[in-house]
């Protein structure tokens, strides 16, 4: 693995309801560089249809903390004050790099800040919705969360938005296709800069 390969990290954050998951799928298919999705570990229980090792590594609290103590995580955070832990295993980065790809991390702002500290050259992208009202509408349209969870996510989104200027790029997900193209252009330019 070349030294340069280890610089290849893309971090994408944005409030749930910013249309992240659809965009992530499209990006993995269409990006002009090879994106290898980092599979996060979490203590959150799987939702119906979620598969261990594909969507997440679903760990017990004890297993998560054991790996944490062993230094296996690049970053970790408790997301949405939910009591559930989420984290990026360093082995996921190695997996991406050994395949000659960019490690693609879809993580929250707390995690992103930690990645930025360790990898200042990481390509960090904050995805936001055109307006706070639109964000709330999308969150509710999903219909998967309780009112309490929705309120918590709205409060978190507000806080996250305040940290968006720490990211290298802010992309507004108004039109999905436009946002995908915009990120593809960013990746093309970043890859070019690394090969220069």
Q: Shortest approach of ligand 5GP to residue 32 CB, angstroms? A: 24
E strands, the chain, where?
A: 9-13, 35-37, 41-42, 57-58, 73-78, 85-89, 102-106, 123-128, 169-172
Binding segment toward ligand 5GP, per CB under 6 A, in 108-116, 121-129, 130-138, 168-176? 108-116
Binding status of residue 19 toward ligand 5GP by CB under 6 A: no
Rounded to whole angstroms, the maximal C-alpha distance in the chain is 50
Of 87 and 101, the one with the shorter C-beta distance to ligand 5GP is 87
Binding status of residue 18 toward ligand 5GP by CB under 6 A: no
Binding status of residue 43 toward ligand 5GP by CB under 6 A: no
Of 70 and 195, the one with the shorter C-beta distance to ligand 5GP is 70
> CA separation (Å) from 83 to 15, 42, 65, 80?
18, 11, 13, 8
In whole angstroms, give the CA distance from residue 184 to residue 179: 9
Binding segment toward ligand 5GP, per CB under 6 A, in 1-9, 25-33, 85-93, 176-184? 85-93
CA angle 21, 41, 64 (to 5 degrees): 155
Chain CA centroid to CA 189, Å: 20
In whole angstroms, give the CA distance from residue 53 to residue 39: 7
Binding status of residue 107 toward ligand 5GP by CB under 6 A: yes
Binding status of residue 86 toward ligand 5GP by CB under 6 A: yes
Among 18, 110, 124, 173, binds ligand 5GP (CB under 6 A): 110
Contact residues for ligand 5GP, defined by CB under 6 A: 16, 40, 44, 75, 77, 79, 86-88, 106-108, 110-111
């Amino acid at each position: 693995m070349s030294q340069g390969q280890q610089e290849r990290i893309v971090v994408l954050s944005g409030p749930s309801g910013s249309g992240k998951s659809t965009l992530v799928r499209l990006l993995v298919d269409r990006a002009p560089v090879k994106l290898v999705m980092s599979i996060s570990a979490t203590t959150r229980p799987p939702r119906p249809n979620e598969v261990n090792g594909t969507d997440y590594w679903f760990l017990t609290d004890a297993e998560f903390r054991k790996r944490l103590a062993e230094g296996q995580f690049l970053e970790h955070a408790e997301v949405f004050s939910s009591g559930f832990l989420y984290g990026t295993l360093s082995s996921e980065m190695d997996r991406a790099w050994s395949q000659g790809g960019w490690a693609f991390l879809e993580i929250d702002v707390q995690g992103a800040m930690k990645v930025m500290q360790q990898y200042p050259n990481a390509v960090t992208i904050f995805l936001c919705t055109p307006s706070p009202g639109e964000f709330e509408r999308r969150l509710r349209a999903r219909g998967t969360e309780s009112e309490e969870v929705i309120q918590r996510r709205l409060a978190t989104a507000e806080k996250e938005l305040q940290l968006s200027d720490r990211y290298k790029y802010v992309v507004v997900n108004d039109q999905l296709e436009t946002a995908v193209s915009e990120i593809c252009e960013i990746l093309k330019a970043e890859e070019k800069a690394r090969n220069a």
